[in-house]
Amino acid sequence: MRIDKQQCAERLLAHDEFTVLSHEHPDGDTLGCAFALCAALKMLGKKREFRCGDTVPHDFSFLTDGFRNDEVHHPYVVAVDVADPGLLGSLRAEYGDKVDLCIDHHPSNTLYAKETLLEERAAAAEILYELMPLLGVEPDRYIRECIYTGVSTDTGCFRYPNTTPASFRIVAELTEKGIDSRTINKLMFETRTKSFLALELLARKTLEYHCDGRCAIITVTNDMFRESGSDESECTPITALPRQIEGVRVGAVFKQKPDGTFNVSVRTDGDIDASAICKKLGGGGHRGAAGCSVDDYEDGKARLLTEIAAALNAQ
């Protein structure tokens, strides 16, 4: 069932122990939301633990340093920025059908939770920010930095078309009250590790064009991760690259997983629906950015290209 912000705040205020879940391959928005919520619950004198199916990348240590889970016995389970129980990853078996409340901004949310606060916003962190006054919480610097991390990362630092006046207004307030956006931006958007630069050079050699140059595909394999000393957590800028090339309307990146299968990220110019393309292959997401998984590279690429060509030709 869908609920509004006021009802959501009431649910949070009514419980005393919480498990807060982020999605697998955690990004700035799911982590910003989770740690902002944990901090707010703590300020309200409640107990909370954070759980995620994957290890939190080192880049986010400015959010996780000093964080300790409380011991919780009968938690109210809240998933943040998790559109589908499958995205809980290794926590799916434990929590997939036990999520009491989901706070999310993905239109593709399957409403799997008992109750869902769903608003189509640039970032789920914007919803979290607007929940704070309803919880009676005045965001401190840490919460502000959590929110900034969510909004800035999910908008590509305010560059993606999902950015709204509300995103800018929220960030104006956050920066006015004081955050270290310089350090956060440096970590999230600027710093390129030597291993990333090596990976990017290898990946760019795989660049191939399809559909008369309207589609570009890059492939990242486990061999490349090994050779560069990089890993999946550094792939985000590569994911964005194919669609950024002039004339390309649909970009896709195949990223090999340790088990040899592939995660596929699809980015479009927004006129083409990436989410619809990925749904055909069992995935989902947003209009401009979506994803799916395929077991076999050649077969998966052929199926994806069929869907992309159909979407391009329907224009």
Interacting residues with a second copy (CB under 8 A):
157-161, 163-166, 168-169, 171-173, 175-176, 181-182, 185-186, 189-194, 197, 201, 204, 241, 244-246, 269-270
The DSSP symbol for 84 reads: S
User: Can you tell me which residue has the tokens 């290898």?
Assistant: 202
Quick check: 34 and 20 in contact, CB under 8 A?
yes
Q: Which residue has the tokens 């990220």?
A: 265
- Rounded to whole angstroms, the Cα distance separating 145 from 151 reads 10
- As a whole number of angstroms, the distance between CA 49 and CA 34 comes to 10
**Residue among 32 and 53 whose Cβ is closer to a second copy:** 32
> Which residues is 76 bridged to in the sheet?
18
Query: Of 163, 161, 227, which is closest to residue 195 (Cα–Cα)?
Result: 227
Q: Which of 192, 226 has the CB closer to a second copy?
A: 192
* Beta-ladder partners of 267: 251, 289
Q: How far is the CB of 211 from a second copy (least distance, A)?
A: 16
Q: Which is nearer to a second copy, 116 or 239 (CB)?
A: 239
Comparison of 191 and 261: residue with beta carbon closer to a second copy:
191
Tokens of 63: 């959010």
Q: Using the minimum distance from each CB to a second copy, give the nearer residue, 185 or 222.
A: 185
Decide: helix, strand or coil at residue 169.
Answer: helix
User: What tokens does 116 get?
Assistant: 């869902």
Pick between residue 8 and residue 238 the one whose CB is nearest to a second copy: 238
Q: Closer CB to a second copy, residue 172 or residue 310?
A: 172
CA 75 to chain centre: 24
Residue in 132, 150, 129, 137 with CA at minimum distance from that of residue 22: 150
The distance of closest approach from Cβ of residue 159 to a second copy in the complex, given in angstroms and rounded to an integer, is 5
96 vs 237, beta carbon nearer a second copy: 237
CB of 265 to a second copy, least distance (A): 16
Least gap, CB of 245 to a second copy (angstroms): 6
26: Cα within 13 Å, side-chain hemisphere: 32
> Nearest approach, Cβ of 242 to a second copy (angstroms)?
10
Antiparallel, parallel or unpaired: β 17-22 and 76-80: parallel
Nearest to 226 by CA among 258, 187, 204: 258
Q: Report, in Å, the least distance between residue 246 CB and a second copy.
A: 5
CB of 77 to a second copy, least distance (A): 35
Task: In angstroms, give the least distance from the CB of 301 to a second copy.
Answer: 22
Q: Which element (helix H / strand E) includes 116?
A: strand 115-118
